[in-house]
Amino acid sequence: MQLYDNSDLISRRREQVFLLLAGFFLCSMTLLNVIGITKFVQLGPMALAVGVLPYPLTFLCTDLVSELYGKRRANFMVTVGLIMNVFVILVLSIGNWLPAVSIDNQPPWQVLQLAQDIASPSGASISGSVELYFLIYATTSGAVIASMLAYVAAQYCDVHLYHFWRNLTKGRHLWLRNNFSTLISQGVDSFMVISVTFGAVFLAGGLSLEQMLLLMGSNYLFKFCAALIDTIPLYIAVHYLRRYLHAD
């Protein structure tokens, strides 16, 4: 009876920890889509979209799940994240397609009068009277699609490379598989998300090559620093969670 109770307790612990890691992973990914490129902040030499700030946490979560639960669980979590990305895009699109109520029945902040034309990330020009939701949708929907494409490439790449380095080193050198898998996959992510999000504006002449390279470089530099910093919490988490979950 005691053996059964201990086994049941460990099983519950493993599912609870996985749920917690998956929750942080999905929350960070959703924040990237929701707040996205609504604001750019300056962190030292880096110009970053606010949506990027929580994103490095997703790679820490995938590395922890890969280490503690294996490749299959990590890929499952990434696949669920992909489904959530599609769901976000679907809800945003439905909200844009549905007809709005008449202007007389809308709150005053719902309709904006633009003082001058502005260019959206798609390269289209927006002018005159515009609904707040349409403006947000026009400036962020492309970024959501870009983040989904980058997400698919980077996260599956991260899981695959993590296990490649783990098998190559026969389970030794945790720092190596953590950093090498993350640094390569985040390079893929940074290049793709900036290229897809701002590619149309760049081709239309709204952004210079220097600005594009600055955005790519800032994006990757932030993720590069975050990847190096998260090595310490990764070691601490793996050390204690192995004992807590009775994981090999």
**Exposed e or buried b per residue across 156-170, where buried means at least 16 C-beta atoms within 10 angstroms of its C-beta:** bbbbbbbbebbeeee
Residue of 215, 234, 238, 216 whose CA lies nearest to 226:
234
Residue 123: predicted pLDDT = 59
Residue 21: predicted pLDDT = 94
What are 9-39's pLDDT values in tens digits?
Answer: 888 999 999 999 999 998 888 887 777 777 8
**Exposed e or buried b per residue across 19-48, where buried means at least 16 C-beta atoms within 10 angstroms of its C-beta:** eebbebbbebbbbbbebbbeeeeeeeebbb
3-state SS assignment for residue 193 = helix
4 has pLDDT over 60: no
Mean pLDDT is highest, among 15-19, 106-110, 196-200, 209-213, for 15-19
Residue of 51, 32, 70, 60 whose CA lies nearest to 245:
70
48 has pLDDT over 70: yes
Residue of 80, 235, 237, 106 whose CA lies nearest to 173:
235
Tell me the C-alpha distance between 214 and 239, whole Å.
38
Residue 246 backbone dihedrals phi, psi, to 5 degrees: 55, 45
Tell me the C-alpha distance between 21 and 197, whole Å.
28
Residue 183: predicted pLDDT = 80
Tell me the C-alpha distance between 62 and 70, whole Å.
10
Average pLDDT in the 207-216 region?
Answer: 81
Residue 5: predicted pLDDT = 61
What are 66-121's pLDDT values in tens digits?
Answer: 889 988 998 999 899 888 888 888 888 888 888 877 777 777 767 777 777 776 66
Instruction: Say what percent of the chain tops pLDDT 90.
Output: 8
